[in-house]
Amino acid sequence: MRRLFPLLFAGLLMAAWLSAAAARAADVPDGARVWRDVPYGQAKAQRLDVYAPARAQGAPVILMVHGGAWVVGGKDGPGVTGRKMPHWLEAGYVFVSIDYRMLPAADPLEQARDAAAALAYVQRHAAEWGGDGGRVVLAGHSAGAHLVALLAADPSLARESGAASWLGALSLDSAALDVPELMAGPHLRLYDRAFGADPAFWARVSPLQQLRTAPAPMLLVCSSQRIASCPASHAFAARVERLGGSARVLPEPMTHAQINADLGAPGDYTREVDAFLHKLGLP
């Protein structure tokens, strides 16, 4: 049965992708400015899309890292921009969604370096889109949440790419915050493909194991319908708090996909996330 899980997972992702494809064009608010497929690196996959309010000037920036089990997905995929982008544009943010290299071409550590390179590029060029490179918030869902958490836990990855510090990070439902614990127990085979069999590599790409200093403030959203996500988020947040940092866990009675797709829709969930941004001094 375990062998069926990756196939089912991929099938569900593809079905969601196709069902949302027709609606993507309508997601961009009237008057918004859009820059698509902006290169932040040499590889074909190292591209980003920028969405900005019509008269943005010095606006804060949300940098979104998509999920997809480190092997599929894209910056304009279902749930990635759909409700988030128009919601935050209306609130006065610039919204940036990135692609990055996938397995097997790049393992999760290299993918985190891609996200760091995108961050550095956004910080350097934000003013060209009406944004403020000094007010960037990282956000990621699923595999993207793992990559964002890894950058938060190990800021040297960002510094190596020339990135400066950022205001905070939003992790949307990652169960891979303690990779050694995840790999030691029963798990989906997609994690074997991502993390392999080397415990040293597990530790290197594990946000919890790399967390040695307090990161920028974090909000960790987790699905209370999943077994591993909320416990992993609580363990990570507890370590942040012991290091003197600020991390809050927000359990939501939603599916893994809904946590991504429904962010930006009216309701308590979006209000809680916006409240986190307000505490960072943002609109």
pLDDT digits (tens, 9 = 90+) for 245-265: 999 999 999 999 999 999 999
Do 141 and 166 form a contact (C-beta atoms < 8 A)? no
- 4-279, what's its fold? Rossmann fold (3.40.50)
pLDDT mean over 9-28: 46
Rounded Cα–Cα distance for residues 20 and 99 (Å): 18
The two tokens of residue 50 are: 């920028």
Is pLDDT of 226 > 90?
yes
Give Cβ neighbours of residue 240 (< 8 Å, ≥ 6 apart). Answer: 211, 214, 215, 218, 246, 247
d(CA 78, CA 18): 8
Convert the pLDDT of each residue in 167-194 to its tens digit. 999 999 999 999 999 999 999 999 999 9
Whole-number Å distance between alpha carbons of 121 and 106: 20
Question: What long-range pairs does 29-32 form, CB within 8 A, spacing at least 24?
Answer: 29/86, 29/89, 29/90, 32/89
| Residue spans of beta strands (DSSP E) within 40-162 | 47-52, 59-65, 94-98, 131-141
What tokens appear for 94 in the block?
């610039």
- Whether residue 14 has pLDDT greater than 50: no
Task: Residue 180: name the closest of 162, 195, 193, 161 by CA.
Answer: 195
State the Cα–Cα distance between residues 119 and 111, nearest whole angstrom: 12
Helix, strand and coil content of the chain, in percent to the nearest 5, comes to 45, 20, 35
First-to-last alpha carbon distance for the chain, in angstroms, is 47
The domain locations on the chain are 4-279
CB 77 within 8 A of CB 86: no
What are 99-128's pLDDT values in tens digits? 999 999 999 999 999 999 999 999 999 999
What are the start-end ranges of the H helices in 126-160? 143-153, 156-160
User: For 1, which DSSP code?
Assistant: -
The predicted structure's pLDDT at residue 20: 42
99: helix, coil or strand? Answer: coil
Q: Give the mean model confidence (pLDDT) for residues 128-147.
A: 98
pTM higher than 0.75: yes
